[in-house]
Structure formats: structure tokens, C-alpha cells
Amino acid sequence: MRYDSAIKTTFEKVALGVLRVLGYEVVEIKPIPQEMQVGKLVADFLAIVKLKDGTEFILHVEFQTRNDPDMPKRMLRYFSIIFSGHNLPIRQIVIYLGNEELTMSNKIDMKSGGTSISYEYEIIDLKEVQAEKFLESEAPDVYLLAILGRTEDISEVVRKIISRLRESFEKREISKHDLLEYINRLGVFAELRDIREDLRKEVQKAVIDIDITKTWLYQEGLEKGIKEGLEKGMQRGIQKGIQKGIQQGRKEGIREGMKKGLEKALKETILSVVKFKFGRASSLIRKGVMRIDDIDKLRSLRDEALRARTLKEFEKKLRSTNHIKLKYKNVKRL
């Protein structure tokens, strides 16, 4: 899920700082590259960790946004795979990001005949970690997590985060690109806690000099506007088609006109959505959309354009619809 991706991005960048907030006296972290991990399962975070007292171990972290009754079995699978490929002691943590009460177990105790197993790992519920602990950090990637922590006044936490981001931006400690990324990541975290409206108000009040069209604030408004305008746009296309058919004086002309009008409206809508959401609609994308004359396929592609989080997601759908390969070599992007 995109929540997991956002938290994983944060954790990978500042694992040492986050682990210290969570109570680990870490002095060194050496991430284990995916290609060096063992088995088909790929961990959310896997690294060799060294503590202040010299202790070394492999740290395995998984992120969860919902309660999974099978989580102990999943973690045991990870443990057996990591154990078979490494010789250091292993510590496992599940970081729970969900808004619902934490109910999933963190252990397996089983005995059957002469076989028994006693297995346990740590679960950290971010809702129970004091938000102020994250706010004590100087690193934006760390103090952003305060929005997921425990607090009596979430609006105040949001204000502090936005204020610090603005200050860092004005002091040129972070770039405009970084600021946009942080605000977008905050939007994902805020959705986990159902506080997007609080965040929206604070970002707007801060009057930060950024291109709002590059943030989730604009994308949400855009998608809402597009959805509301789709039916009107298609209706206009249908009406134009009907008028053309009537002028021809034939029923077949009316049907064909309706089809062409709807087809044109759908194509224009798809290209507009792609351009607004991702900043461009390349000539190959335009050609790929324009060559489709199946109304159902166009409707499906329109819906995918609205849902897609990245341009690659949309291109994948377009390729499967057209059964073509999109190559951008020596092609000018529009």
C-alpha cells in the first residue's frame, strides 16, 4: 500500500534517528541490499545494526496499516529465511501504523506431540509513541512521523510540523523539491489518521511559496473537479453527435454521431487528466489514446487515468489496452 511505501521511504532515509526515538541506542546501521537478502520474500527493512554497548544483530522491520491475524506466521517465515542466510542474532519489529486498535498477536506458542515452538517478536504501535519524541529530532524525515504519534492536540502537532518545514525552506536548509515531497508524504500520513482537513488548513495558512499543483492538495481538488465534469463533458459530446446525425437525416448517422461524440469526449478527458496529474502527455501516449475506438476500453482507460498514482501505472494500462510497447527514446515529451 502507498501508506507502507511512504513510511518505508522515511524509515530507510533516517533509520538511525527513528530507532533512537523508539528507544534503541543505535550507533551504526548497515542496510542489507535486496539482492543479498535470502529467499523470495523481500523485507521492508533489513540491516545489520550496532548498539552503543557493541552488540551487533540483524534488524528486520515490517510495516502494517491493518491488523493481520496471520502476521506471526509471516514473521516466522521471514525469520527462518533470514536465519538460514545469516549468522548474526536476529531482532524483528512490526511497526503498526493503523488507526484502529492494535489487536494482532506477536507470538506463536504451539506444542504437538514431541514438537513445540515458542516464537515472539516486537510490535510497536506508533499511536502509543509520544509525538513530542519525534518532534525533538532536527531531521524532517523523523519529525514528520509526529503526525502518527500520540498527542492530545493533533492540530498543534500539525502546526509545529508545517512551521518547521516552512522555516527550514526559508533558511534554504531544504529545497523546494524536498518541501513538496514532505508535504505530499504528510498528506499520506494524515489520511491514516483521518486528519487531512486539519493538514490542509495548516498548509494553506502557512502561505508557503510552492507550486500547489504539485501537491496532493491540488490533485484531490483536480480529481474531484474532473469527476464532476466528466458526465457534463461526455453529454456535450453526445449532443454534438446527435446534432450531426440529425443533420444527415439518418438514424445510422445519429448512432454514429453519438458514438463519435462520446469517443472524442473520452479521449480528450483522458489526455487532460494525464497532463494535469503528471505534467505531460507524450506524443506516444496521445497516439496510443487516439487509436482506441472502443468506448468500453476508453471508459476503462479514463478510470485508470483518475486512479493512477504514477505515469508508469497509466502507461502500463495503455500498453495492455493497445497491446503495444511505449518507448520514449528520441521522442520529444510534450
**119 and 14, same structural domain?**
yes
Domain endpoint, select from 170, 186, 210 = 210
Number of domains within the chain: 3
Pairing relationship of beta strands 45-51 and 115-120 according to DSSP bridges: unpaired
Q: What is the pLDDT of residues 283-313, one digit of tens each?
A: 888 888 888 888 888 888 888 877 777 888 8
Question: Tell me, what's the pLDDT at 331?
Answer: 40
Tell me if 329 is assigned to some domain: no
Residues in the chain: 334
* Positions of the chain with pLDDT under 50: 1, 207, 209-222, 327-334
User: 13 and 7 in contact (C-beta within 8 Å)?
Assistant: no
Q: Is 172 part of any domain?
A: yes
Cell of 302: 479514463
Range of the domain at 275: 219-322
Q: What pLDDT is recorded for position 50?
A: 93
Q: Give the integer Cα–Cα distance in Å for 280 and 266.
A: 18
| Cβ(107)–Cβ(78) below 8 Å | no
d(CA 134, CA 124): 14
Among the three residues 210, 229, 246, which one is the final residue of a domain in this structure? 210
Query: With contact defined as beta carbons under 8 Å apart, do 43 and 62 qualify?
Result: yes
Q: What confidence score (pLDDT) does residue 168 get?
A: 86
Cell matching residue 227: 469527476
Q: Say if 113 falls within a structural domain.
A: yes
- On whether both 121 and 49 belong to a single domain, the answer is yes
What phi and psi values does residue 157 have, to the nearest 5 degrees? -65, -45
**56-64 and 90-96 strand pairing:** parallel
**For residue 104, what is the enclosing H or E element?**
none
122-125 and 90-96 strand pairing? parallel
Torsion of CA 207, 5, 52, 138, to 10 degrees: 0
User: Taking Cα atoms as reference points, which of 285, 266, 268 lies closest to residue 333?
Assistant: 285
Q: With respect to residue 149, please indicate whether it lies within any of the assigned structural domains.
A: yes
How does DSSP classify residue 329? T
**Does residue 331 lie in a domain region?**
no
Tens digit of each residue's pLDDT (9 = 90 or more) over 40-59:
677 888 999 999 999 999 99
Per the listing, cell 479521449 goes with 267
120 and 136 inside one domain: no
Residue ending a domain, choose from 189, 210, 231: 210
- d(Cα 22, Cα 94) in Å, to the nearest integer? 12
What is each CA distance from 51 to 24, 58, 227, in whole angstroms? 8, 11, 52
Query: What's the rounded Cα separation, in Å, for the pair 72 and 127?
Result: 21
Question: Cα(67)–Cα(105) distance, rounded to whole angstroms?
Answer: 9
Quote the cell numbers at residue 34.
535486496
Residues 236 and 202 in one domain: no
Q: Is 28 helix (H, G, I), strand (E, B) or coil?
A: strand
- Quick check: 158 and 178 in contact, CB under 8 A? no
Residues 114 and 137 in one domain: no
Distance CA 14, CA 20 (A): 10
Q: According to the model, what pLDDT value does residue 89 have?
A: 96
User: HEC string of 134-163?
Assistant: HHCCCCHHHHHHHHHCECCCHHHHHHHHHH
Residues 157, 226: one domain? no
Locate cell 469517443: which residue? 263
Using an 8 Å Cβ cutoff, are 269 and 275 in contact? Answer: no
Statement to judge: residues 307 and 205 lie in one domain = no
Q: Same domain, yes or no, for 35 and 47? A: yes
Do the Cβ atoms of 293 and 252 come closer than 8 Å? no
Q: Are 61 and 76 in contact (CB under 8 A)?
A: no
Query: Strand, coil or helix: what is 56?
Result: strand
